[in-house]
Each structure stands twice: as C-alpha cells, then as structure tokens.
C-alpha cells in the first residue's frame, strides 16, 4: 500500500465505530426487505444511512472532519479527494440522498420510494463498497 493511502490505526478505530453503525443499517435494510416488504421506505432510509456513515467513516479514517450533511454527492466528492475509486462508487449512489428525505415524510417525493429490485441492487452495491472500504485498514503492526 502506498504511503498516501496508509491509515493510522487510532484513526481507523474511530472510523470503525461509523462502519459498525453502517453495518447495522445494512442489516436493518435486509431485515425490512425480507420481513416487511410492504415497508420499502424503511429499507431505503437505512440504505441511505449506511452509505452516509460509510462515507463519513472514510473521511474520519483520513483525518477529515465530516460535514453535517446527508448529501451523498457532497460526501462522495470529499471522499474522492482522498480515494478516487471509493469516492466514485459513493458518488454513483448519490440518488440515495432522496432515500433519506422521502421515507421521513408521507407527502415528500412519493415517487422516489424504490422498488424491491432497486433496494436489492443498492444493497449489493453497498456491500461491495463496504468490503472495499475494509481494504483501507492499516496492516497489523502499523
């Protein structure tokens, strides 16, 4: 791993708290999909939250204070300044920003509630991203 991509162990431990929460959001999304398919807005919300927490965790791992925003496009650009590939993957999921808003308000953007197929595709991409983020971890002894 190049010097520029190394992650300090202490910073990584702080970031892990964010990644653990993101993992929990992904679990909740999966549970809702399998046990409450009539609540796609709930699964959508947790997908957005998982992505937001992953992005903010990467920023924290790179010693950057994450902004107080739910805008995935903004977070993707910030992450891209540290890791272009991960930033691009986050940015490619920027449509999930609306998944934070629409589920919270019954009259907000009702057309933006995703289908089960959309949710399954998003979860697959989120799982892939999460595995890629794990590769940023410092090697033992660093």
Best CA proximity match to 54, nearest among 15, 97, 1, 93: 15
Q: What is residue 4's predicted lDDT score, i.e. its pLDDT?
A: 46
Q: What is the phi-psi region of residue 7: left when phi exceeds 0, alpha when psi lies from -120 to 50, beta otherwise?
A: beta
pLDDT of residue 85: 97
Residue 139 lies in a domain: no
Whether residue 125 is contained in a domain is answered as yes
Domain, as residue range, for 129:
3-134
Residue 41 reports pLDDT greater than 80: yes
User: Is pLDDT above 80 for 44?
Assistant: yes
Q: Is 120 exposed, middle or buried (0-12, 13-18, 19+ CB in 10 A)?
A: middle
Q: What is the pTM of this model?
A: 0.91
CATH number at residue 14: 1.20.120.330
pLDDT band for 108, please (50, 70, 90 cuts): low
In a domain, residue 94? The reply is yes
Mean pLDDT (whole number) for 27-41? 95
Q: Is a pLDDT exceeding 60 seen at residue 5?
A: no
Average pLDDT over residues 15-43: 96
Residue 71 within any structural domain of the chain: yes
User: How much is the average pLDDT of 99-105?
Assistant: 79
pLDDT at 2 over 60: no
Q: Helix 40-61 and helix 84-92: axis angle, to 10°? A: 160
Q: Report the number of distinct structural domains present in the chain.
A: 1
Structure tokens at 58: 């990467």
> For residue 140, is it within any domain?
no
Alpha-carbon distance of 3 to 42, in angstroms, equals 41
What integer is the mean pLDDT of 77-97? 97
Give the distance, in angstroms, between the CA of residue 57 and the centroid of all CA atoms in the same chain. 9
For residue 142, tell me if it sits in a domain. Answer: no
Q: Is the pLDDT of residue 82 over 90?
A: yes
Is residue 39 assigned to a domain? yes
Mean pLDDT value across the chain: 90
């Amino acid at each position: 791993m190049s010097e520029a991509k190394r992650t300090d162990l202490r910073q990584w431990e702080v970031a892990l708290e964010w990644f653990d929460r993101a993992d929990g959001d992904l679990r909740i999304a999966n549970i809702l999909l399998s046990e409450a398919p009539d609540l796609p807005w709930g699964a959508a919300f947790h997908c957005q939250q998982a992505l937001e927490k992953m992005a903010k965790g990467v920023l924290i791992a790179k010693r950057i204070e994450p902004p107080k925003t739910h805008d995935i496009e903004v977070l993707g650009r910030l992450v891209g300044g540290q890791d272009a590939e991960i930033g691009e993957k986050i940015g490619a999921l920027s449509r999930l920003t609306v998944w934070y808003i629409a589920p919270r308000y019954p009259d907000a953007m009702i057309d933006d509630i995703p289908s089960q197929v959309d949710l399954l595709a998003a979860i697959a991409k989120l799982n892939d991203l999460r595995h890629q983020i794990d590769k940023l971890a410092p090697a033992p002894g660093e």
